[in-house]
Amino acid sequence: MKNKLYIKLPDEARQGDEVFVRARIDHDMESGWRTTQEGQTIPQDLVREFACRYNGQEVFRAAFDAGMSPNPYLGFYIRATETGTIECTWVTQEGGRLTTSTVLNVI
């Protein structure tokens, strides 16, 4: 499955408002414990980290372990200070970086 990244937040916010950010990645997450019908172990494939930046400054970070479910979803608040870019990066165990971004309009 190809990974798809999502960010959802309000179209605009007033300066000083708390803004709820939703971030999700479509990712199958393999624990490394399952096997194929032929008995071969399916290699571990996990998302290990998540970071969110607002205008280049980190505002949220999370770390995950093998117990994380497929297609992880995170929801968190940030304080709207100015119009700027919200950038979310998911990091896989192999060091792959998957990034998406959107703009928060502050009025």
pLDDT of residue 93: 84
Domain that holds residue 25: 4-32+44-106
Q: Which pTM value belongs to this model?
A: 0.85
Token pair recorded at residue 1? 């499955």
Size (the chain), residues:
107
Examine residue 71 and state whether it is found in any structural domain, yes or no.
Answer: yes
Amino acid at site 48: R
Examine residue 37 and state whether it is found in any structural domain, yes or no.
Answer: no
Examine residue 99 and state whether it is found in any structural domain, yes or no.
Answer: yes
The CATH number of residue 82's host domain is: 2.60.40.10
No. of H helices and E strands in the chain? 0, 8
Examine residue 38 and state whether it is found in any structural domain, yes or no.
Answer: no
Examine residue 82 and state whether it is found in any structural domain, yes or no.
Answer: yes
Examine residue 39 and state whether it is found in any structural domain, yes or no.
Answer: no
**Count of structural domains within the chain:** 1
Residues 42-83: tens digit of each pLDDT: 887 788 899 999 999 999 999 988 777 788 899 999 999 999
